[in-house]
């Protein structure tokens, strides 16, 4: 939400400034531009505030693994079991990377529950030299990757995952097919992992 809306608002503001320059300096028109620009600035501030509020407290205070444990506990119920596997040694990542990986895991777990109707989900986090690997495996009904990606509404979450990873030169592999469980693997090289705040 933050990335997409923030970028759109920034582009809208730039377009407004360009349009103002082209139309000249008429006082009445200039006042309307100033008013509209103030409304965009206020909206951008609100989007930043909402985005901050959406960051789980556990993620901010204790990091990615603790937040994933909380996600797994909350999503586990009588119908769905979620298992989290991660290394014994304590690992720390930049806060922006923590948030990005958390959002990706959240999206994949939600998809497995809501769309694939999975009963068992495994979330794995491993670090290998200078690389972090996040995998979400499920025993659900699967899906047709090409068909989902062609659907502008249905494939939005998966496209968002790819967009987030592009920012940090990350990579995602979808091992999926209709009628069987899915395995989705995310890889990020830690030396490349410097996500930028598009609202700054």
Q: Tell me the pLDDT tens digit for each residue of 148-195.
A: 888 766 677 888 899 889 888 899 999 999 999 999 999 998 875 554
- Would the pLDDT of 198 be above 50? no
pLDDT of 104 reads: 94
pLDDT of 4 reads: 60
Encode 23-67 in three state secondary structure: HCCCHHHHHHHHHHHHHHHHHHHHHHHHHHHHCCHHHHHHCHHHH
The tens digit of pLDDT for each residue in 42-59 reads: 887 777 666 655 667 888
Residue tagged 């995310």 (tokens) = 186
pLDDT of 143 reads: 92
Q: Which residues on adjacent β-strands are paired with residue 128?
A: 131
DSSP 103: H
pLDDT of 91 reads: 73
Residues near 112 by beta carbon (within 8 Å), at least 6 away in sequence: 118, 121, 136, 138, 140, 182
């Amino acid at each position: 939400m933050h990335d997409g809306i923030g970028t759109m608002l920034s582009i809208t503001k730039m377009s407004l400034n360009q349009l103002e320059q082209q139309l000249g300096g008429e006082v009445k028109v200039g006042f309307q531009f100033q008013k509209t620009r103030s409304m965009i600035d206020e909206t951008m501030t609100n989007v930043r505030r909402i985005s901050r509020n959406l960051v789980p407290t556990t993620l901010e205070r204790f990091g990615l693994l603790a937040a994933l444990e909380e996600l797994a506990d909350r999503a586990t119920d009588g119908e769905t079991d979620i298992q989290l596997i991660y290394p014994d040694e304590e690992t720390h990542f930049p806060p922006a990377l923590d948030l990005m990986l958390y959002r990706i895991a959240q999206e994949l777990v939600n998809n497995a529950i809501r769309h694939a109707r999975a009963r068992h989900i495994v979330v794995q986090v491993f670090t290998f030299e200078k690389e972090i690997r996040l995998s979400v495996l499920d025993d659900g009904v699967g899906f047709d990757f090409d068909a989902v990606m062609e659907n502008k509404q249905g494939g939005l979450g998966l496209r968002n995952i790819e967009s987030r990873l592009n920012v940090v030169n990350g990579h995602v592999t979808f091992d999926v097919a209709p009628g069987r469980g899915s395995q989705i693997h995310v890889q990020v090289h830690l030396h490349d992992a410097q996500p930028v705040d598009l609202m700054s």
